Amino acid sequence: MKTLASSPRHTSPSLITRIGAPISVMIAALLALVIVGCALMASWIAPYDPTDLASFELINAELPPAFTAEGDSHFLLGTDNQGRDLLSAMLYGARVSIAIGGGAVFVAATLGVILGLLAGYFGGKVDAVIMRVADVILSFPTILLALLVSGIARALFPGAATAQWAPVILICAIAIHEWVQYARTVRAATMVETAKDYVRAAKVIGLPPGRIMLRHILPNVMSPVLVIATINLAAAVLTEATLSFLGVGMPPTYPSLGTLIRIGNEFVFSGIWWIALFPALTLVILVLAVNIVGDWLRDRFNPKLRVKR
Amino acid sequence: MLKVLLSRLGQAALVMLVVSALSFVMFRYVGDPVASMSRENASAEEKAELRRSLGLDQPVVVQYGCFLENTLSGNLGISYRNQRPVTQLIAERLPATLELVFVATVLSLALGIPLGVLCALKPNGAAARLVQALSLIGISTPTFVTGIVLILVFAVSLGWLPSFGRGQVVDLGWWSTGLLTLSGLKALILPGITLALYQLTLIMRLVRAEMIDVLSSDYIRFAKARGLPKRYIHFHLALRNALMPVITVTGLQIGSLIAFAIVTETVFQWPGMGLLFIQAVSFVDIPVMAAYLLFVGLLFVLINTVVDILYAVVDPRLRARSA
């Protein structure tokens, strides 16, 4: 409680000091916003359309970045093995990565919050079943479950359909592991809230359970969910990149950052470093920035989770 | 106690049944083995014959029964791609993965524990801050990026270390080891570091948190009051107690590392189980995929169950809760 009372939220009036973020967090947030912003506006700011296969010229393949001696000024960061402008591919790729990461976080949070509410509110058998499933899922690492899900999904959408459904498959593959965290947190918070007077009163006047959970309990258990979501976004983007790197994610025709690194990895040995390095750098900066903001949010809004200093 | 034991074992068996059902589903429904095994222009009769010989014309339930029976007797089928028993393939690849995981675990402990202690003893010192910042970068960098950068620097630019394979291996019975030759050891360095970095941050943070916890406990304060030397208090009294959970987590993480080695093995073309699995995925070699999942699943369930049971033995409170 001491940390809460002494937090600047209660003392300082202006917005900037009220946020009270150290300069490093500000920079990280700005970086994340810039990358996300560029990715969202990819179709306007990208010099070429990386999804238009007909526009690639093989004669332009594997051109080094413009700032090197052999570089071509048309392609700022060089081209990939098919003559695709790397900068454009990265902008579109970042958009794909962020969309899938965000989608996975959204699906996981929604699923986790609903199951957590049900488990915490009803308790008993419902709680036991949900939490046992959660325990089992948590004992496997994300990457293995994700590979499993994409393996099964390949069965449902064979051939060309796999590529078409790749984003949906990836979102499910990542979310199947991540919802557990939300469910556990929400369940614990819901149990606390359910015992409070306002919920008991709501029960007494005969409100249906669904309404009590969504309108009365949910708003009071949401803040940790948002914190977890921020931290999870970084993890989800990383998992997507890993799956794409392993070749079970986004197809080369519609690459994410991970797919680009996978393509680049094949050329690292021939000294063509830029295809792998620039997307990798973008990925690391994006994830690092989100992680810094997430860590700070966790410390700021959830003193209980704070690592003791 | 018996009740706990039985419920844990029952739960483990249930999980394994689910895992086996999942790998069967893959076995049966992912891709078309007949299409991937037969020649380009095979006739319909040839295909039907192949289908029959693989048992794919039977009802699904019968196929699952067969699958379970075969699995329990150690027969995991024959790889579609190289026409050899899967059990044999996995046994061949197992030493490579286990050696990699072993080296990575040793490295991450050897680095993670001192760094964690450093951060706990002087939390506001410059070194601790630097380590903390680096660990954040470490968490944010995917394993394959670390691997690619290491290859670029140490293999492509400097040419000091090999970038792929295991180097020369020595056969000790059925176990092939790269730990006994110079080229084998050299080949282990880069993949070992890459995999260790994934684990390092976790161990470091854990040691730091545990150390800070232990250092604020009463017996440490009494030891300080007695005027015992600092070095003795920190490393003899505090660290020993802080290491208990670290050992547990390291044990639990071994399964995770084996699964995560898939990525490292792909980057370094390390001939382990992970590479076998990923190659199987791209060739839709279902028996290998299914067997890998079963194997890693079994490993996980085993480790988790053993730890759960040990905890129940050690801590009576847990016994009461779970029974």
Which pLDDT band, with edges at 50, 70 and 90, does A106 fall under? very high
Residue A90: exposure state from Cβ atoms within 10 A (0-12, 13-18, ≥19): buried
Interface membership of A58 toward B (CB under 8 Å):
no
Interface membership of B151 toward A (CB under 8 Å):
yes
Q: Do A280 and B149 touch (CB under 8 A)?
A: yes
Output the six-digit token pair for A174.
């990542």
Nearest to A268 among B26, B156, B260 (CB): B156
Q: What is the pLDDT of residue B177?
A: 73
Which pLDDT band, with edges at 50, 70 and 90, does B28 fall under? low
Q: What is the pLDDT of residue A144?
A: 80
Interface membership of A242 toward B (CB under 8 Å):
yes
Chain B: residue nearest A261 by CA?
A: B145
Residues of chain A positioned with their CB less than 8 A from the CB of B15: 136, 139
What value does the mean pLDDT take over residues A160-184?
84
A305 pLDDT above the threshold of 80:
no
Output the six-digit token pair for B108.
């991450």
Write the pLDDT tens digit of every residue in B35-56: 666 666 677 777 777 777 767 7
Q: For every residue of A11-74, which 3-state class applies, written as one string?
A: CCCCHHHHHCCCHHHHHHHHHHHHHHHHHHCHHHHCCCCCCCHHHCCHHHCCCCCCCCCCCCCC
Chain A: residue nearest B24 by CA?
A: A152
Residues 200-239 of B with CB under 8 A from A: 205, 209, 212-213
Q: What is the pLDDT of residue A105?
A: 93
User: Hey, is A252 helix, strand or coil?
Assistant: coil
How far does B243 lie from chain A, in Å, by closest CA?
18
Q: What is the pLDDT of residue B320?
A: 58
Nearest to A265 among B267, B293, B300 (CB): B267
Which pLDDT band, with edges at 50, 70 and 90, does A13 fall under? very low
Closest CA to B127 of B199, B211, B204: B204
**Residue at token pair 């994830």:** A287
Residue A8: exposure state from Cβ atoms within 10 A (0-12, 13-18, ≥19): exposed
Q: What is the pLDDT of residue B301?
A: 82
What value does the mean pLDDT take over residues B170-177?
71
What value does the mean pLDDT take over residues A183-190?
88
Residues of chain A positioned with their CB less than 8 A from the CB of B25: 152, 155
Mutation choice for A interface testing from B132, B144, B210, B214 by most A CBs within 10 A: B144
B309 pLDDT above the threshold of 80:
no
Nearest to A155 among B30, B142, B304 (CB): B30
Which pLDDT band, with edges at 50, 70 and 90, does A2 fall under? very low
Interface membership of A307 toward B (CB under 8 Å):
yes
Chain B: residue nearest A290 by CA?
A: B140
Nearest to B29 among A155, A271, A287 (CB): A155
Q: What is the pLDDT of residue A148?
A: 75
C-beta of residue A100 within 8 angstroms of C-beta of residue A263? no
C-beta of residue B188 within 8 angstroms of C-beta of residue B179? yes
Which residues face B175 on adjacent strands?
Answer: B172
User: What average pLDDT is seen over chain A?
Assistant: 78
ipTM of this model? 0.75
Closest CA to A255 of A8, A21, A53: A53
Output the six-digit token pair for B237.
């009294």
Chain B: residue nearest A288 by CA?
A: B140
Higher-confidence position of B166 and B208 = B208
Q: What is the pLDDT of residue A5?
A: 43
The span from the first CA to the last CA of chain B, in angstroms, equals 8
Provide the 8-state DSSP code for A79. B
Interface membership of A143 toward B (CB under 8 Å):
yes
Nearest to B278 among A144, A246, A284 (CB): A246
What value does the mean pLDDT take over residues B75-81?
74
A111 pLDDT above the threshold of 90:
yes
What value does the mean pLDDT take over residues B223-248?
80
Provide the 8-state DSSP code for B281. H
Q: What is the pLDDT of residue A113?
A: 92
**Sign of the Cα pseudo-torsion (B288, B291, B297, B303, in order):** negative
- Listing DSSP states for B71-135 in one string gives HHTT---B-TTT-SBHHHHHHHHHHHHHHHHHHHHHHHHHHHHHHHHHHHHSTTSHHHHHHHHHH
Its CATH class, for the domain covering B92-270, is mainly alpha
What value does the mean pLDDT take over residues B118-126?
80
- Listing DSSP states for A138-173 in one string gives HTS-HHHHHHHHHHHHHHHS-THHHHHHHHHHHHHH
Residues 97-136 of B with CB under 8 A from A: 123, 136
A71 pLDDT above the threshold of 70:
no
Q: What is the pLDDT of residue A6?
A: 44
Write the pLDDT tens digit of every residue in A203-246: 888 888 888 888 888 888 888 888 888 888 888 988 888 888 88
Which pLDDT band, with edges at 50, 70 and 90, does A256 fall under? confident
Q: What is the pLDDT of residue B272?
A: 84
What value does the mean pLDDT take over residues B260-288?
82
Which pLDDT band, with edges at 50, 70 and 90, does A114 fall under? very high
The CA-atom distances, in angstroms, between A71 and each of A65, A79, A180, A256 are: 5, 10, 48, 24
Q: What is the pLDDT of residue A83?
A: 67
User: What average pLDDT is seen over chain B?
Assistant: 79
Interface membership of B47 toward A (CB under 8 Å):
no
The structural domains of chain B, with segments of one domain joined by +, span: 1-81+283-323, 92-270
